[in-house]
């Protein structure tokens, strides 16, 4: 945990990060409870969107993880800016080799910490044995994808970064479609028969999340690098768009998002949108929505300057890794909420009690985040 200032942060990044993390930490439980207490169509639809798609297809819940990874990519050009300024260079490729070695070491340390925290979230410290430990994780994928996207950003110009992006998506598509899997053949995009699942079973140690494959497995981490690169492209654009008026910035962002969404929908016909396999069509579709989500918050908070309404999201977004780890089992927020609010909640009608229970959990989480925010304590990885 470290103390830092938030004055130089791009506010929309924290808001978007907080928006997607809210649904994981407790927001989904509020909507599910509301849909049961007041089963009107809009709440039932929202509740249905807060579950992962069974296999092919997509829901809003499937977008949360890649949007978070996308935001990590957006932050990258900003995080290296100070180092470039101190070295007196304008691009990361111009950094002296000695300075790059320091950056590589820092990046590798961050990735290792995220991998370890992912193991902890998966129950490493329960010491259930090697075979029962799941080594693939959400935090691990974020660390690995961010690391390799960072290597590309530091060593290649924008044109070559785009070639890397296209090469990753097309290469993954060709591998998944045309490399045969023993006993299944080529192009079988099922849980058991996909190349991604086969590589997981062959090389991923410990326990797989879904027995025959892992949604955060080894091979499907490769296209996740492309998701992080999309964020890098947006971050690079934001740092070099000073001469553009705000309306042109927004048009470019919106058109870019729509083009990616259209590409994902077209590619879906041959390479289905699938979060479990992190297909190339999934990268394009969610990448487009990520840009649109960001544009919405960027317009309101950074261009128009309306920020007070987003303060709860800023609390979440500025300490997103911490609240994710805590919400995944490290802290029992429900017990605390029941202890503080449980007596009062019993006075509400039985059908509405789960709604207020879920709201009380969110309140406890926000109070913790507010305490940390006021003291400028942020988990920096």
Per-10-residue mean pLDDT, the chain, length 381: 50 95 95 96 96 96 96 91 79 84 92 93 76 88 96 94 98 97 95 95 90 93 98 92 81 97 98 97 98 96 93 94 88 92 93 95 96 88 72
Structure tokens at 199: 């590589």
Confidence at residue 242, expressed as pLDDT on a 0 to 100 scale: 66
Confidence at residue 239, expressed as pLDDT on a 0 to 100 scale: 85
Confidence at residue 86, expressed as pLDDT on a 0 to 100 scale: 77
Question: Which value, in Å, is the radius of gyration of the alpha carbons in the chain?
Answer: 21
Query: CB 55: neighbour CB atoms within 10 A?
Result: 13
Write the CB contacts of 49 (distance below 8 Å, at least 6 apart in sequence): 59, 60, 61
Structure tokens at 174: 């060709």
Packing angle of the helix pair 60-79, 221-239 (nearest 10 deg) = 50
State the Cα–Cα distance between residues 146 and 287, nearest whole angstrom: 15
DSSP string covering 171-182, please?
Answer: HHHHHHHHS-BT
Confidence at residue 3, expressed as pLDDT on a 0 to 100 scale: 44
Under 8 Å between Cβ of 214 and 122: no
**pTM score, whole prediction:** 0.93
Confidence at residue 7, expressed as pLDDT on a 0 to 100 scale: 44
Confidence at residue 5, expressed as pLDDT on a 0 to 100 scale: 40
Confidence at residue 318, expressed as pLDDT on a 0 to 100 scale: 92
Under 8 Å between Cβ of 327 and 333: yes
**Sequence spans of domains, the chain:** 7-306
Write the CB contacts of 254 (distance below 8 Å, at least 6 apart in sequence): 291, 292, 295
Under 8 Å between Cβ of 321 and 138: no
Q: Is 96 left (phi over 0), alpha (psi -120 to 50) or beta?
A: beta
Query: CB 298: neighbour CB atoms within 10 A?
Result: 24
């Amino acid at each position: 945990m470290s103390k830092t200032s938030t004055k130089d942060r791009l506010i929309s990044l924290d808001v978007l990060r907080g928006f997607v993390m809210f649904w994981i930490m407790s927001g989904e439980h509020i909507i599910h409870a509301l849909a049961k207490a007041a089963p009107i169509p809009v709440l039932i639809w929202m509740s249905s969107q807060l579950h992962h798609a069974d296999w092919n297809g997509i829901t809003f819940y499937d977008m949360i993880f890649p949007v978070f990874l996308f935001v990590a990519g957006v932050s990258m050009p900003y995080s290296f800016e100070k180092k470039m300024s101190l070295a007196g260079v304008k691009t990361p490729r111009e950094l002296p080799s000695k300075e790059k070695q320091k950056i590589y070491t820092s990046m590798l340390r961050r990735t290792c910490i995220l991998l370890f925290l992912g193991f902890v979230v998966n129950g490493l410290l329960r010491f259930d044995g090697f075979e029962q430990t799941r080594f693939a994780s959400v935090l691990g994928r974020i660390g690995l994808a961010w690391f390799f996207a960072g290597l590309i950003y530091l060593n290649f110009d924008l044109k070559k970064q785009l070639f890397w992006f296209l090469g990753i998506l097309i290469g993954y598509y060709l591998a998944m479609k045309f490399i045969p899997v023993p006993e299944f053949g080529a192009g079988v995009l099922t849980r058991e028969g996909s190349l991604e699942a086969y590589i997981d079973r062959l090389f991923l140690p410990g326990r797989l999340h879904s027995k025959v494959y892992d949604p955060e497995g080894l091979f499907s981490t490769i296209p996740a690098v492309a998701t992080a690169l999309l964020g890098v492209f947006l971050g690079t654009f934001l740092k070099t768009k000073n001469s553009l008026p705000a309306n042109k910035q927004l048009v470019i962002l919106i058109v870019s998002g729509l083009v990616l969404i259209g590409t994902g929908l077209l590619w879906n016909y041959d390479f289905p949108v699938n979060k479990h396999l992190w297909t190339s069509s999934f990268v394009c579709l969610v990448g487009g929505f990520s840009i649109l989500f960001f544009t919405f918050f960027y317009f309101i908070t950074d261009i128009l300057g309306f920020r007070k309404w987003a303060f709860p999201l800023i609390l979440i977004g500025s300490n997103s890794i911490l609240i994710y780890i805590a919400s995944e089992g490290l802290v029992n927020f429900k017990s605390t909420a029941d202890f503080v609010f449980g007596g009062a909640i019993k006075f509400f009608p039985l059908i509405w009690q789960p709604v207020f229970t879920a709201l009380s959990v969110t309140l406890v989480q926000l109070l913790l985040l507010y305490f940390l925010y006021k003291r400028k304590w942020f988990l920096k990885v």
